[in-house]
Structure 1
């Protein structure tokens, strides 16, 4: 093989296979060890380890290490050192690394020229690979930062969320609508790019930390949402990705991001069954709006021990963290570990502490619904807000309020309307009576579990609320049923 053929091969390998392929070919071509070795004292935080030989991370031979140290000490760009039965050839790539070959004697005559020719393409491909690694690390860092902003928004910590978001760009929109897109994970980047393009880069986009097929988009409220009865952004997103479904919240201030996300999630449950594959959040109002006057004191009293809680150890969660844990668990169940970045045992321990502080049994749907409503009625509560009003009413007193009764009847009216499937009201009542657990509810209804699931899926479309997947409308259904029982 001629020298020109070798040079051509080196460049092809650098372009197509990278540094590992190039070093591997050199080792085979020369019949010895070939790889990278650091100069004495050189350190590179951007490339820990790096390729040492044909395989990434291979430790270089002692002869190569000694040769690099000698070359660095002498301040030369190339060197040849002989040991008993072997020769070490070194060529500097930059001020940190050298290309080294440890070859048995006698080594091929073309070895020095071949290694010298390999320096330029190898140095270029190494720089390209380091740039790719830095870009990948930056992308991971940005994704985690965006996820942190989402967690702060869901926890009501707007000032810190704004500070982080300003560094990432764009600014968080306020007021806004939340779009939740569901599609194959391979499509998410394409959907995110299209959303940014259609909104002029004003949308704030983050991958959902809980559901890997979901993309969450905070879109400025002044973006044209509906044109000629058609949701323009959601329609464009589903058009580019036919397997994609999009749920859209109503227009809300940024401080109500948790409510907006829940609305968009409910709309997504409706969108899955529609031909156009997108839907806007259905009719309200929500229970926290109906119960705002009657329930504020009750919610403050219930949550006072949580807000006033101070941990005995600095590393333990405080009241604010416990509140965020409760909110995440109510919305996502066991999947809350992905949002909170904690182990399932840690989540279980926090929930037991919350039960103890509040005197609740969170295995019961009624207590879950009470906690959910209380959290929604106190969106701005946090550290130090532990003062509870004296003589606050109980939950039943709140649910007897005429505004709540009106909301409950309106919320349940669809279950007995002309479009309701047969037995919808009984199905929901039985499901709620068994704490929204599908298996015992199916047994009580005398149907199979898939049959019960199909019934609830039809009721999801009727109510325009997600029931089977969290965030679920089961808490509001329980509250509505209880309010109606009390009114009767």
Structure 2
């Protein structure tokens, strides 16, 4: 009777201890998943415990962690036995160690790891049951983590695909964009309104998801260039979303473009970006692009003929080596750099040295010094004029840039660009600041030095000009090219 009572008491104690261990495992899983559970298991058993890949690769020896050559060889042999005999557990003895292996369960087609424990002989009586319980908990935990890894991988793949569609649209490759977008949702609309949402980087992921929820028919893409921007391409016929996006959080701004054909996505982006500059000075925190005529369109066919001549060396270029960028890639590089400045490296996914080398090559082909704002403005106008439909092109001899800028339509355009500044009481101060900024190739430091102002004071003046123009000036895409061309046109006609 005494022996039976003692055995019964020991059995009750073991069951109570096992239950307590299971509860402790659950707490460890909730605290930190498989890693937390493995740490608890190592502390609880005092043994070397790991999740081991079951692919049959050699197990690295870790003497400091308690895994010597004998134990590593036992694990390797045991994994082979598990695979060949489809066992659910295994104990394999060596001279000094016993290795216990428990393959984790997983869905069909998924290779799960195995729980391995290296124990000094003899093996404690309670250890196999404890490891079996741990393997069961680890199986559920590992499967949940595996599913989460797959979900994140799918999200990253979809995000990259959406970013690829955005790149294709920005570069005018509509057919390829439609092909890639066909595997995703929603379909690309023929007419769009582009939105740029500015928010703190820490909330961008969450805000992107919320934007996608409230605009189900829109394309929502975290900006590949600016970490505080979200880009949205919405169907033109949909209700205006700027106010809706601005209401999602108190610390965001929204800029909206005009309604444009899908082929003009790059124009829509620039318009939405400029609208952000206007939104910064409005209590509603959102603004729509205040449309003004484009210089290339204001001049008309003559600008297209001029652009064709300017860009001819670039379009005719053929790379000497297969690994070198061709004409199309150089055009895309120049367009990206004119839009994003040094941030073009993030847009094009290239190293800054690669960008510098390409820009140097482009400058040599076109006989331009792309460090100068004057030549940057010329090239920006040439790209815009080159996009004028071929049916509207002038077949006569191309003009020079100064000839184009002195045409009445160009002069009228220039005065409209500068009018918001010139009508202000402090017009003289603002015009001098702008002129100095443009003469210093859009560089803030030299501008501040020439004006005998601090960098902060100069930035504030330029921000005032941004607000008046309702255009971005300090951050690319910038209106500085248009402003340089406008001042050049006015100076040519006024004889200054």
The reply to whether TM is greater than 0.5 is yes
Mapping of 1:111-150 within 5 angstroms? 111-150=127-166
- Equivalent position SS for 2:482: helix
Q: Which residue pairs with 1:176 in the alignment?
A: 192
Q: Which residue pairs with 1:441 in the alignment?
A: 447
Instruction: Quote the Cα distance in structure 2 between the aligned partners of 1:110 and 1:292.
Output: 88
Instruction: Quote the Cα distance in structure 2 between the aligned partners of 1:398 and 1:440.
Output: 30
Which residue of the other structure, out of 393, 408, 412, is the alignment partner of 2:414? 408
CA contact (8 A) 1:295 1:398 kept: yes
Instruction: Quote the Cα distance in structure 1 between the aligned partners of 2:112 and 2:211.
Output: 43
Instruction: Quote the Cα distance in structure 2 between the aligned partners of 1:420 and 1:198.
Output: 43
Q: Which residue pairs with 2:245 in the alignment?
A: 237
The alpha-carbon distance between structure 1 residues 147 and 102, as it changes in their structure 2 partners (threshold 3 A), is same
CA contact (8 A) 1:302 1:358 kept: yes
Q: Which residue pairs with 2:470 in the alignment?
A: 464
Q: Bigger CA drift: 438-447 or 240-249? A: 438-447
The yes-or-no answer on 1:478 pairing with 2:478 is: no
The alpha-carbon distance between structure 1 residues 37 and 234, as it changes in their structure 2 partners (threshold 3 A), is same
The yes-or-no answer on 1:69 pairing with 2:75 is: no
CA contact (8 A) 1:14 1:21 kept: yes
Mapping of 1:160-199 within 5 angstroms? 160-199=176-215
The alpha-carbon distance between structure 1 residues 304 and 389, as it changes in their structure 2 partners (threshold 3 A), is farther
The yes-or-no answer on 1:16 pairing with 2:31 is: yes
Instruction: Quote the Cα distance in structure 2 between the aligned partners of 1:312 and 1:412.
Output: 45
The yes-or-no answer on 1:205 pairing with 2:211 is: no
Cα RMSD for the two superposed structures: 2.7
Instruction: Quote the Cα distance in structure 1 between the aligned partners of 2:227 and 2:18.
Output: 51
The yes-or-no answer on 1:271 pairing with 2:279 is: yes
CA contact (8 A) 2:25 2:37 kept: yes
The alpha-carbon distance between structure 1 residues 15 and 406, as it changes in their structure 2 partners (threshold 3 A), is same
The alpha-carbon distance between structure 1 residues 394 and 144, as it changes in their structure 2 partners (threshold 3 A), is same
C-alpha displacement at 1:209, in angstroms?
A: 0.9
The yes-or-no answer on 1:220 pairing with 2:235 is: yes
C-alpha displacement at 1:76, in angstroms?
A: 2.6
Q: Deviations over 1:291-330 (max 9, x none)?
A: 2322000111111111121111222111111111111111
Q: Bigger CA drift: 87-96 or 313-322? A: 87-96
C-alpha displacement at 1:39, in angstroms?
A: 3.7
CA contact (8 A) 1:414 1:420 kept: no
- Equivalent position SS for 2:220: strand
Instruction: Quote the Cα distance in structure 2 between the aligned partners of 1:40 and 1:362.
Output: 55
CA contact (8 A) 2:208 2:222 kept: no
Q: Bigger CA drift: 262-271 or 116-125? A: 116-125
Tell which structure's C-alpha radius of gyration is larger: 2
CA contact (8 A) 1:149 1:164 kept: yes
C-alpha displacement at 1:390, in angstroms?
A: 7.2
Which residue of the other structure, out of 89, 98, 118, is the alignment partner of 1:78? 89
Which residue of the other structure, out of 34, 38, 51, is the alignment partner of 2:49? 34
The alpha-carbon distance between structure 1 residues 99 and 441, as it changes in their structure 2 partners (threshold 3 A), is closer
Q: Bigger CA drift: 147-156 or 475-484? A: 147-156
CA contact (8 A) 2:258 2:291 kept: no
- How many residues are aligned here? 466
The alpha-carbon distance between structure 1 residues 90 and 172, as it changes in their structure 2 partners (threshold 3 A), is same
CA contact (8 A) 2:304 2:388 kept: no
CA contact (8 A) 2:56 2:76 kept: no
The yes-or-no answer on 1:25 pairing with 2:40 is: yes
Q: Deviations over 1:260-300 (max 9, x none)?
A: 11111111012112211111112401222212322000111
Instruction: Quote the Cα distance in structure 2 between the aligned partners of 1:170 and 1:305.
Output: 40
C-alpha displacement at 1:87, in angstroms?
A: 1.0
C-alpha displacement at 1:223, in angstroms?
A: 1.3
CA contact (8 A) 1:38 1:65 kept: no
CA contact (8 A) 1:176 1:254 kept: yes
Instruction: Quote the Cα distance in structure 2 between the aligned partners of 1:419 and 1:168.
Output: 53
- Equivalent position SS for 1:249: strand
Which residue of the other structure, out of 388, 394, 397, is the alignment partner of 2:400? 394
- Equivalent position SS for 1:251: strand
C-alpha displacement at 1:421, in angstroms?
A: 4.6
C-alpha displacement at 1:195, in angstroms?
A: 2.8
- Equivalent position SS for 1:17: helix
The yes-or-no answer on 1:288 pairing with 2:288 is: no
Q: Which residue pairs with 2:493 in the alignment?
A: 487
Q: Which residue pairs with 2:8 in the alignment?
A: none
The yes-or-no answer on 1:257 pairing with 2:265 is: yes
Which residue of the other structure, out of 314, 334, 340, is the alignment partner of 1:332? 340
